[in-house]
Amino acid sequence: MHPVLRLLLRRAGMSALVLIGVSVLIFVIARVIPGDPARIALGPNATVEQVANLRDALHLDQPVWRQYGHFIADLARGDLGVSLYTNRPVTTDIAQFLPATLELVFAAAILMIGLGLPLGILSARYRGGIIDNSIRVVALLGVSAPSFVWAVILMLLFAFFLPIFPIAGRLSTDFLIEPVTGFLLVDTLLAGNPAAFGNAVSHIALPAFALALSGIGQAARLTRANMVETYDRPYIEMARSYGFPERRIAGRFAFRPSLIPSLTILGLDFAAMLGNAFLVEAIFAWPGLSRYGVAVILRKDLNAIIGTVLIISATFLIANLIVDLLIAWLNPRIRHGRGTGG
Amino acid sequence: MKPDFITPLRVASLALAGAAALALAAPVGADRVLRLDEVAVGELDPGLASDYADSILMFNVYDTLVLPRQGGPGHVPHLAANWDGEGTQYTFQLRDDVRFQSGNPLRAEDVVFSLERMQALGRGLSFLFGNVEMAEAVDTHTVRFSLNEPYAPFVASLVRLPIVDKETVMANLGEGEGDMKDWGQGYLSANGAGTGAYRVIAHNPQEETVMVRNDDYFLGIDEGAPDTVRLRYGLEAATVRTLMAQGEHEISSQWLPPEVMRALSNEGMQLLTESGTGAFYFKMNTTKAPLDDVHCRLALANAFDYEAALKLIAVTDTLSQGSASTGAIPVGMFGANPASMTLARDVDASRNHLAQCAHDPADFSIEITWIAEVPVEERFALLFQANLAEIGIRSTITKVPWALFSSQVNKAENTPHVSQLFVNAVTGDPDTLLYGMYHSTAAGTWQSPEHLNDPEVDRLLEEGRTGASDEARDAAYAALNDRLTAIAPSIYSYDRQSIFAGSPKVNAPALSDPAQAFGLDGMGFSFRLMTVEN
């Protein structure tokens, strides 16, 4: 079997086991948090009988293992139950909210890679100079302040004092775009509406940048550190002596080997943004899954908690799988089945 | 050497600049738009509705048989042309000129269906109709309700029975068991089926609900009323402030911190108010020493600094998120004391009561709790602690999550000495405020951590809910008010007053003129009664 295929199968198998473990863990944790989900869902005015009826409907009076059995049986039918928060099927909620978060996280990831890596390369290329020092300060600021702080600062700068960007929602109310993929940047293009596309970009710009800033700083710092180390290798010196241009040395001989360790961290950063998006989504009124996830946890909405956690876990695992495959593709020792250690 | 790596930066900058330019060039809507916000989620199904956002939706998409009288207690006909009844039988004659948004005419069977649906779902505010034995359509435009027992606030309860279009719901039943399947929950959670002045055209329970005016509304709608309403959910305070500064938001929710309200007011926003629906209470566990002694409770009630409490929630020098309390019943309801009879701190009286208390205060430390989800309560807890320290009573402050609080109060021994709570009358009638708090059969819920068991209070509460006339009920509640002041199961901290920051281009009489206020949470947001400058 090809080593990359073997790696893919092994990782997929492990991911399935992790998902089962996560489902058991979150199922139990959600049930031991203090508070009666039925009482919380029905509100303070509900009668004792109403609460008892809902508890019965949710099987909450049964042992946890039987409740888990009901959950697995429903899951096998593709049914995650009804959310007590929105009173809609959890699958409907996820289908509505997930694309918004994925779009935001993808945009942030593009910014993270599109700005973080070039900044890291620049910093390493001009190390010790003013460009390097400036980038390192900016990167440090990006890493040290959480996303929500940047969200508020960006909102103040570019919406309050200098009203350039919109700050609420995904698209101006002047546009009516029929959802096809749920990704508005795609749907506006599919609708052939460049003004709506521009409007969607302007809506996503601030939240995506706020979410990406930490990753941009991280990517720049990692890339710089790895490239500086690579620059000290003898083969770089040899490339210089052969007269290769600096641009080619940086891009081909120094950057590519430095990318492998960075990629692992960036993959984790990407997945972590799914969870970190919560406060950014709240500040920019972005109707995404992270915000939904926190709301359902606060309401102890059992079905929605499990559904959301499973989806975020699955996305996390898929992102890791893709990173592993990318590393395998970049690393000839793995690609050609040598030195993988089994 | 020129660094080529700068290119992606340049591309990204150009893309952002281009997007901003395109966004600024976007067309601007020409109609009258009203944008406001509330906490998520917005529940559109009137059978499940219970929160403030749900009420706003309910009162605009649906109508009820009666409406609260504006500017005072009592009710006036709305979908009903008139009604007759008392005791256990009530008959309503419906208007014959009302049509649902679907075009279907309003009939008595729609009223019967709406009640049966609410009772069958058993969610939201259905508990208000637990004593309705049946409803029957006498003819096309006459409906009769039969109650299990006399219940004078029944007419008041009808402001929480939105009438749904039976034909539309039956045509859109989802999956479920029995003939009625899901009772149309799937459909009504995303669509409106009422007679209301506004029609839902888009609904995302976490983002916003978009409504447009229903030009066929049976009462007509003012030309200046909003054409489109966007009710947004879950906006942060910073976001609301920025949107209002940009002119992209007309009315804030009531949940903004007082500091933000003040800032918006200083920036030229008007402050809208809604009051008379509830109060903020310090509830004392009457079964736990030393608060099982009435003198000890009265000592605490007299020690509390009512004036300072109002200052803690002041928005401006003259406006606060509460108004001075006059007793157990908020001003404006049956039995309330006049607005001039405000409660005030009396340290001497407090010390006198403490001297008569059977317990030595040195033997106890009073546990004051505050609900973790309501940060303003911590300020009141600190104020109360300082007040108690002045009369020599030790106290501790405990933060309790709502979920834990609502389960621990089931047993008197687990209930803290003092719990802070906001309680509202969901129908505007004092019965829905007081019965659940003070009747001995209702003890041990989140509303009644006093665990009060006082036969005189029980008697007056029964008298209030069975009184044959408004005058009789007013007298019963006035006597109850006196009794509750005398035995002090709670400290009546202040009458709740909701404040909303509004753009100057909005005119909302029901939220700015007391003579036009409804005295019911959310009804001030009847959009048909508002006007918005274009």
Band of residue A337 on the pLDDT scale cut at 50, 70, 90:
low
Q: pLDDT averaged over chain A?
A: 88
CATH H-level superfamily of B34-251+503-532? Periplasmic binding protein-like II (3.40.190.10)
B30 in contact with A, Cβ within 8 Å: no
CA distance A303 to chain B (A): 17
Q: How far is A336 from chain B (nearest CA, A)?
A: 31
Flag whether residue B208 sits within 8 Å of chain A, measured between CB atoms: yes
| B242 closest CB neighbour out of A121, A159, A292 | A159
Q: In three state form, how does the secondary structure of B274-294 look?
A: EEEEEEEEEEECCCCCCCCCH
Q: Is the pLDDT of residue B13 over 90?
A: no
Encode pLDDT of B17-62 as tens digits: 454 444 444 444 458 999 999 988 889 999 998 889 999 999 999 9
The predicted-structure confidence for B409-437, as pLDDT tens digits, reads as follows 989 999 999 999 999 999 989 999 999 99
In a mutational test of the B interface, the residue from A167, A213, A291, A298 whose CB has the highest number of chain B CBs within 10 Å is A167
According to the model, what pLDDT value does residue B27 have? 41
Q: Cβ separation of B22 and A201 shorter than 8 Å?
A: yes
d(CA B284, CA B301): 10
In a mutagenesis test of the B interface, which of A55, A82, A86, A246 is the best target, namely the one with the most B β-carbons within 10 Å? Answer: A86
Q: Tell me the per-residue pLDDT of A258-299, one tens digit each, with 9 for 90 and over.
A: 888 888 888 888 888 887 898 899 899 999 999 899 888 888
Q: Tell if the CB–CB gap between A155 and B27 is shorter than 8 Å.
A: no
Q: Per-residue pLDDT tens for B152-194?
A: 999 999 999 999 999 999 999 998 888 999 999 999 999 999 9
Q: What number is the average pLDDT over the span A12-34?
A: 88
At which residue do the structure tokens 């890791």 appear?
A320
Question: Which residues touch B364 (CB under 8 Å, ≥6 apart)?
Answer: B289, B290, B393, B394
**pLDDT tens, position by position, B232-266:** 998 989 899 999 998 999 999 998 888 899 999 99
CATH numeric code, B274-497 = 3.10.105.10
What does the mean pLDDT of chain B come to?
A: 91
Per-domain residue ranges of chain A: 1-85+299-342, 103-288
CATH topology of domain A103-288: MetI-like fold (1.10.3720)
Q: What pLDDT does A319 receive?
A: 86
pTM exceeds 0.80: yes
Give B379-415 pLDDT, tens digit per residue: 999 999 999 999 999 999 999 987 788 878 989 999 9
Instruction: Give the rounded percent of residues in chain A with a pLDDT score beyond 90.
Output: 42
Q: Best interface-test mutation with A: which of B128, B157, B228, B236 has the largest number of A CBs within 10 A?
A: B236
Q: What is the rounded average pLDDT of the residues A165-171?
A: 90
* pLDDT of B482 above 80: yes
Using pLDDT thresholds of 50, 70 and 90, give the confidence band for residue A336: low
Break chain B into its structural domains and give their ranges: 34-251+503-532, 274-497
Segment A197-228, tens digit of pLDDT: 999 999 999 999 999 999 999 999 999 999 88
pLDDT at B30: 55
Residue B27 half-sphere exposure, CB side, CA atoms within 13 Å?
A: 11
Strand pairing report for B506-507 and B531-532: antiparallel
Using CA of residue A153, residue A224, residue A105, residue A199, what is the dihedral sign?
positive
Average of per-residue pLDDT across A5-27: 89
Residue-wise pLDDT for B327-353, tens only, equals: 999 998 899 999 999 999 999 999 999
A201, B1: Cβ pair inside 8 Å? no
Chains A, B: CB contacts within 8 A come to 178
In this complex, do A285 and B238 lie within 8 Å of one another by their Cβ atoms? no
pLDDT band at A338 (very low <50, low <70, confident <90, very high): low
Across B95-104, B182-191, B516-525, which has the greatest mean pLDDT? B95-104
Structure-block tokens of residue A211: 């979410």
Residue A110 has pLDDT above 90, yes or no: yes
Asked if residue B4 has pLDDT above 70, the reply is no
Give me Rg for the CA atoms of chain A: 24
